[in-house]
Homo-oligomer: A and B are copies of this chain.
Amino acid sequence: MIQSRPAVVRISDTVAGELEKRILEGSLKAGDRLPSERDFAVELGVSRPTLREAIQKLTSKGLLASRHGGGTFVTNRLEAHFVDPWQEMLSGHPMLHSDLLEFRQMLESQAAYLAAERATNVDIERLDALYATLDSVYGSKDMNACIDADVAFHQAIAEAAHNVLIGHMTASLMRLIHGHVSNSLEHLHARPQRWDQLRSQHYTIWQAIREHQPDVAARASRDHIEFVRQSMMNANKEVENRLSALRRQPSGPLERADTGA
């Protein structure tokens, strides 16, 4: 009855496994668009029908989605599993932010530790490049660029940890707090000395990973998030104050939290 594994290996299965592996390991991230079927087939050394069968397998698993004339994309199903339940919760219950940052503290310090332990030359090169852009955009005043560079930097650390769960979890958390990061950054932006502190924290983490000092990296990362945490608490307090001042005026329009796009 055990139809176990026939000795024959279908090429399309091999290809599907390869794609799945790339998605799992993060070289194909959620939202990424695959090369066109024609190009990709050449790149993988198989014919287009074979590649199509492989894509079809992953599509029926929900990992890929194709749009006629548009392209084939990696879905966020793996991350949605983590993120979806929390997305609206976070808007409705601000006290979750504290738990979230605590979780992030654990996750990122561990990621930094493992990254310092396992980062390859390729990882370090990528980190170097990302740190350079991060450092440069911090000089500018472009808030969005800062957020993007910050997220990319931390994500690269998570991937250098070479643990797929840490990678996906970090990506999920990043997406989750993306909308909320701007708050604290905006708050920090008006305070140059704190702004500089962030830069030096990133520098410390970066160097610790480069020089393969896991404990230093972990502690620096922990301190970094702790700093963000404090800043956010201050920001919230400030917002609170501002709101309570506004609340003294009557006739407030109905507050409705916009869930964003």
Contact = CB atoms under 8 A, between A and B. Distances in A.
Interface of A: 3, 6-11, 17, 20-21, 24, 49, 52-53, 56-57, 60-63, 65, 67-68, 77-78, 81-82, 84-86, 88-89, 92-93, 96, 99-100, 102-103, 106-107, 110, 114, 163-166, 168-169, 172, 250, 252, 254, 256
B61 A102 contact: no
27 contacts: A3-B65, A6-B67, A7-B250, A7-B254, A8-B254, A11-B256, A17-B92, A20-B89, A20-B93, A24-B93, A49-B49, A52-B53, A53-B53, A56-B56, A56-B57, A56-B60, A57-B60, A60-B60, A61-B85, A61-B88, A77-B85, A85-B168, A96-B164, A99-B163, A100-B165, A102-B163, A103-B169
Contact of A110 (B20, B106, B166, B256): B106
Contacts of A107: 106
A100 B166 CA distance: 9
A104 to B, nearest CB: 9
Given A68-B8, A106-B110, A163-B99, A62 B85 contact: yes
A26 to B, nearest CB: 12
A93 B3 CA distance: 20
B24 A166 contact: no
Contact of A53 (B56, B84, B96, B103): B56
Contacts of A62: 85
A21 B99 CA distance: 14
Nearest to A169: B103
Given A6-B68, A96-B164, A99-B164, 18 more contacts: A8-B68, A9-B254, A10-B68, A20-B93, A56-B57, A61-B85, A77-B85, A81-B85, A82-B172, A85-B168, A86-B168, A96-B165, A99-B165, A100-B165, A102-B114, A102-B166, A103-B169, A106-B110
A56 B16 CA distance: 13
